[in-house]
Amino acid sequence: MAEDDNVTMGNDQSLSHFASPTVQVVVGGADGRPAQTFYLHAALITSRSRFFAKALRDAKNTGETNDGQPAKSSTSSAQWREGEEGVVKLPFDEPEVFAAYAQLIYHGTVPDYDGPHELVGDSCEGEERACDKEIIAASDKMYSILGRLYVLCEKIQDAVAKPILLVAFVDAAKVLRGNGSNYYPDDPTVTAIYSGTSPSDPLRKYLVENYVYFGWSSWIPKAYSDLPHEFLFDVLRAMYREREAPRDTSILQDRQYYLDQVNDYQREKDRDREMEMEDGR
């Protein structure tokens, strides 16, 4: 052990939650797959999450909403009863993601799905495409869990975890993989984050700026991309703001240039029509 490694901590630091009772969190089940139960220390989870603090508050609040008014539905009352019994149900969330959240709040780390970035040198010789596929799959899986975990932290209102995860996104994009490339959040991750965060969320800004500063046209290959329209609009606005406009605009005054475009377009249409007629013979 290095001389400067400090393995001690003060009495007021983060071990007091181990003396608190445990909370039973039942995650999943709404999609037909089996739910999974997690046991977390109440003092820890309520200190991190406003959602859990609310769900587990004292019995005197049973049947009331946050503003002290009577609960408007049996669902709300049921939630309070679950809280009193030390049980909270999250039927629409994913056990894999909640397991990552438990790891984060207890250990301060997130699962590492990024092993293939170690593929270097002769290990990829003659198999570049296979290695690329492995690296891309690992990168996508890593970003997927980070994104879904971030959305969960937004839902349960854990303001401590969100900055940690934002830094994890930034650090992951800086990693130079074994094929010499950097990788950025994929389309499903962008969609998940935009579906589960507010317009002003800083992770949205980070995703947009990845496209603005590092993006290529191949990142949006389809005429009608699966990416959220709100995200594409944010990217467009940011590009207008950050990317310098071309200084030479003479092409906009060149009528012949655009007439040539029309002619090329018509020739292409005629060629397609001829091919269709030949195929129909």
User: Is 13 a member of any domain?
Assistant: no
β-pair partners for 81? none
Give the pLDDT score at 82: 54
Question: Domain span at residue 270?
Answer: 250-279
User: Is 266 a member of any domain?
Assistant: yes
User: Is 183 a member of any domain?
Assistant: no
User: Is 87 a member of any domain?
Assistant: yes
d(CA 212, CA 233): 12
Examine the fold and report which residue of 46, 65, 93 is the final residue of a domain before the chain moves on: 93
Q: Which helix (H) or strand (E) holds 23?
A: strand 22-27
CA 25 to chain centre: 22
Q: How many domains does the chain have?
A: 2
pTM of the model: 0.77
User: Is 124 a member of any domain?
Assistant: no
User: Is 85 a member of any domain?
Assistant: yes
Examine the fold and report which residue of 57, 77, 93 is the final residue of a domain before the chain moves on: 93
Q: Is 89 helix (H, G, I), strand (E, B) or coil?
A: strand
Give the pLDDT score at 196: 97
User: Is 23 a member of any domain?
Assistant: yes
What are the pLDDT tens digits along the chain (281 aa)? 445 444 444 444 456 676 778 899 999 999 999 999 999 999 999 999 999 999 987 433 554 433 333 334 334 444 445 555 689 999 999 999 999 999 999 998 887 765 544 544 345 555 556 678 888 898 999 999 999 999 999 999 999 999 999 999 999 999 888 888 899 999 999 999 999 999 999 999 999 999 999 988 888 877 667 899 999 999 999 999 988 887 888 888 899 999 999 999 999 999 988 888 877 66
Give the pLDDT score at 281: 61
Neighbour order of strands in the sheet with 87-90: 36-41, 22-27, 87-90
Q: How far apart are the first and last CA of the chain?
A: 81
Give the pLDDT score at 216: 87
Examine the fold and report which residue of 39, 71, 93 is the final residue of a domain before the chain moves on: 93
Give the pLDDT score at 122: 40
User: Is 131 a member of any domain?
Assistant: no
